Amino acid sequence: MSERWPRARVTAAGVAVGAALLLVGAVTGRPDVAVLGAAPVVAGVLDWRRRPGGAVHATLEATGRAAAAGTLTGDVTLTAPPGTAAVLVVVRRHQEVVREVLVDVDGTRELPLVVRTVRTGPQTLADVDAQGIGPGAASMSEAAQPVSRTTLVLPDVGHLDVLPLPPRLRGLTGAHDSRRPGEGGSLRDVHPFAPGDRLRRIDWRVTARRSPRLAELYVRREHALAEAVVVLVVDSRDDVGPDPLTWRGPTVPAASDATSLDIARRAAASLAQAYLSAGDRVGLDDLAAMRRPLPPGGGRRQLDRIRQALAVTAPVGEARGRVRAPQVPSGALVVVFSTFLDDDAADVGVQWRRTGHRVIAVDVLPPLRTAHLKERHRFALRIVRLGRENRLAALADADVEVVTWHESPASQLTQLARRSQRRVGAGAR
């Protein structure tokens, strides 16, 4: 038989007080005092005899990935020996107690776990502790082995309507008008019938007006439909929160704060979804990781690959500097997501622009909280801000378009798209 649970200190103290009252009543001849002490003594003895034996076990399993609203779900399974009155369950996240409940367990019980989070990437779903309580709380089991589960939170996607396009379009399919003649796009011109033209392209009204005797036929020619190639480049070297005091040292950003890398993941996933839904090809690269980039592709599976790659993107040690900017396909639109707290991301953006690519720099630094900063901290932050503003100004001087993600990114992207509608093949969606 399993070893019985140890007695609870509170119950032992109650029995001791009851025994003392019984002794005082017997010595002083006070039956009323003895009666007061008899109840806790009898109850304590009976509960001790009913103490369960055995261990309490807890398991935690994640039931799904993060939803669009940042919800994580899991199942906590509790197993308790016969005679257990209740099980105390404590749920912690980031070393903080978020819920403490007392549940009735008859053998085995499964509890749903729902966690709200603003973070993305790999993270701990929860840390769960469990401890059994015997009848009348007279005994308590040893605390069960704490259990935890790590899950991967994929970035959610936002809705974006009008997006900028690269100066040159590629391919023979897509949703954008190319400069080449073809089918499916807007009207290019009206041209005399030539070998290879289809009869259904004949414009009889123009033919009747220009050649009443039908000496010559005229056909309507359209622009071919083409696709854009977009390369998303994430700078994962920095993962800073809205509190500048957490940028250096052992202090980490609060769990309720979205960091710059969380914003970059969501921004990149939103742009990928918008371009892929229009039939374009999208690739992904990381400035800090010396690994093979995700090549441009299309379709729903490409979006899943991009979200998966974004979720596992994280700072790993000290990033090595790049001698030159990573190579991207010819004529691609390059979108760089960075905090621009140093020169590396800005330098590669300028290099891409000088080689003829259209480059958009997305600033993912979250809005800062500075009310609690001391004077020396404010002075240091001012110096950092001046350097950052100089980099963004240098990008604008180099014809790199800058978008601040926390300031209505949809409207800023729309303005960039309208600005590129000056010639065929470089317009907005």
**Under-50 pLDDT residues of the chain:** 1, 68, 178, 421-429
Q: Give the pLDDT of residue 136.
A: 74
Q: How far apart are CA 290 and CA 319, in angstroms?
A: 9
Q: Give the pLDDT of residue 64.
A: 65
- Interval 315-325: pLDDT, tens: 875 666 666 77
Query: CB neighbours of 371 closer than 8 A, spacing ≥ 6?
Result: none
C-alpha torsion 6→8→9→13, nearest 10? -110
Q: Give the pLDDT of residue 233.
A: 95
Kindly report the pTM of this predicted structure: 0.76
- Tally of CB atoms within 10 A around 180: 15
Residue-by-residue DSSP string for 346-389 = HHHHHHHHHTT-EEEEEE-PPPP--TT--HHHHHHHHHHHHHHH
Q: Give the pLDDT of residue 182.
A: 53
Residue reference for tokens 């140890």: 6
Structure-token pair, residue 387: 């350097």
- Tally of CB atoms within 10 A around 399: 11
How buried is residue 391: exposed, middle or buried, by Cβ count under 10 Å (0-12/13-18/19+)? buried
Q: How far apart are CA 165 and CA 227, in angstroms?
A: 9
Q: Give the pLDDT of residue 361.
A: 96
Q: How far is CA 84 from CA 2, 20, 164, 220, 389, in A?
A: 14, 29, 64, 84, 63
